[in-house]
Amino acid sequence: QKEVEQDPGPLSVPEGAIVSLNCTYSNSAFQYFMWYRQYSRKGPELLMYTYSSGNKEDGRFTAQVDKSSKYISLFIRDSQPSDSATYLCAMRGGSEKLVFGKGTKLTVNP
């Protein structure tokens, strides 16, 4: 089983839709969870981070972590064409090493 699994998509939605992005993981030592956004040929840009289980909201973005199911989600409300990018989940345990998912490519159509 891969350490972090993420459906690569692509995912295409109309403007204004609610988008749900997900990752599963196998390493129970992971306790810090992040979502990055990556535009084509650019560096990952930090969107949100959470520690352990629970929800965190920031504007149109909500991150959820369910450690019991080893499942994390990112919801984007009222999606905009500017949200079109690849979304990467990343996580770590006690070390500094971030383990990334493969990324989900999202297109929001006007």
Partner 1 sequence: EPEVTQTPSHQVTQMGQEVILRCVPISNHLYFYWYRQILGQKVEFLVSFYNNEISEKSEIFDDQFSVERPDGSNFTLKIRSTKLEDSAMYFCASNPGLVVFETQYFGPGTRLLVL
Taking CB under 8 A as the rule, does residue 98 contact partner 1?
Answer: yes
Interface segment toward partner 1; rule CB under 8 A; list 53-61, 66-74, 77-85, 89-97: 89-97
- Residue 84 CB, nearest approach to partner 1 (Å): 18
Instruction: Sheet containing 61-66: give its strands across.
Output: 4-6, 19-25, 71-76, 61-66, 54-58
Q: For the chain, give the number of residues.
A: 110
If phi > 0 it is left, if psi is from -120 to 50 it is alpha, else beta; for residue 70 that is: left
- Residue 44 CB, nearest approach to partner 1 (Å): 5
> Between β-strands 11-14 and 4-6, what pairing exists: parallel, antiparallel or unpaired?
unpaired
Out of 14, 40, 68, 97, which residue is the one contacting partner 1 (CB under 8 A)? Answer: 97
- Residue 71 CB, nearest approach to partner 1 (Å): 19
- Report, in angstroms and rounded to the nearest whole number, the Rg of the chain calculated over CA atoms: 13
- Residue 61 CB, nearest approach to partner 1 (Å): 15
Out of 25, 44, 106, 108, which residue is the one contacting partner 1 (CB under 8 A)? Answer: 44
Greatest Cα-to-Cα distance within the chain, rounded to the nearest angstrom? 42
Judged by the rule CB under 8 A, the positions of this chain that interact with partner 1 are 32, 34, 36, 41-46, 49, 51, 88, 90, 95-103
